[in-house]
Structures are given as structure tokens and as C-alpha cells.
A and B are shown apart, each in its own frame.
Chain A
């Protein structure tokens, strides 16, 4: 039992990492026990041999490259965790905003109680032209969306002018 304890602490004894009492205890034991003495001699020999070997200098970025490789292997294993996927909720949220905006525009005559038949007809015709029937001015979709918004504004202005009964517009757009 004693020998097992001593053998476990032999490395620390060689490296001078033990307290004085521990050192004294092991020193006394080594003088008595032939087996442990032999073990110490073997360790000293091993140490001498290792010291003779030349130290290998790692390349400059060895550590960084090593951890980078470890991370890339881990990422490959995890598979789905890609940075791009983290951004997917952003366009999804944006599309919800755009859809809500479009729905609001199409439903605005009802929501705002615009009773003018002419305006309602124009707005529904515009919505049909843009979203249902393919009668757009250009084939480039974003431009048609922009045209839809511009046209919608124009219809509202016309309605505004009719409502006030004068050519002077209250909203400020016509003054520009």
C-alpha cells in the first residue's frame, strides 16, 4: 500500500513539487524499498532520454488552424446549424409586413368607409390588374409593385379632390 502511494508521487518528487514532509517521507521510503528505488531510477533515465530529444517548434498559426479544423468538423457533423439559416426569419418577417400592407391597401375602401363608387371600382380594378389578371406594364415584378403603389396614391388623390369639391388638395401632394 505504501509503495503504491510512493510510486504515484514519484513524478512530483522528481519535479520537486512536493512539500518538505512528503519529500522526507519518500526519501526515507526509497532508502528502505528496493522496488521503489528501481522505479525512481527508471523515471530518471526516461527523463534524461526525453531531455536529449530536440523540441519541435509548431508553425506560427498552429493553434488557430487546429481549433479551426476542429470547429469545421463539428459544424459538418451538426449539419443544419448554418449561419444563413439563422437569417431566414428576417425575409419571412419582411414578407409578412409586405403582405399585410398589400391586404390593407386592397381593403382600405372598406376599412376607411370610402363610399364613392367610382373610387372603389378603380381600387378593385387596380388590385385585379396587379394581382390577378396579367396586364402589367412590365414583366419585372418589383416595378409593377411600385406602379401599383403609385397608382393607388393617384386614385386616392382624385377621390380627395372630388370629396372636397375643389382642385385644391388638402394633403399637400398636389401642391408639389
Chain B
């Protein structure tokens, strides 16, 4: 988790359900739309009830896209499902 100095200036993106192959396309488009607006985003992971490889790829894509566009992308409050996957893959967001 990157500690963001920018604080409350970031817009908030909330997941409220599973992030899996079923919803991956939809969430990707929403996330990308945020980034296209030219502002950073704080992604609240606390609502993710289930995360699979497809979902993980969406999160990684958002992270990379942020780097590419020089926009801050923060991931906060990982739910247990997210923490589990990150531990499994030894990844940090």
C-alpha cells in the first residue's frame, strides 16, 4: 500500500462486490474512465468479496496505467479476499 501524501484530493473508487472474470470488463472500463479524466484515484478495496486472476489483472492494469499517465493511483483498505491473493502472489499494490 503506497502511503499517499496527496490525501483527500483524490477521487474515491469503491468496489462493492466480487472482482472476478464476471465483472472484470465492467470494472476495468470504469477505472480507466476515471484515469482518462486526468485525475488520480484512490481505490477502496474493502468491498471486494472475491478476487480472481482476471480481477487481479484489472488492479495491476490500473496501477500500470497510473504510472504511464503520471497519475497517483492508491489502493487502500484491502478486504481479506484481496489480502489473501496478494499474500499468495507476493505482490504489493
Q: Do A and B bind each other?
A: no
Residue ranges of A at the interface with B (Cβ–Cβ < 8 Å): none
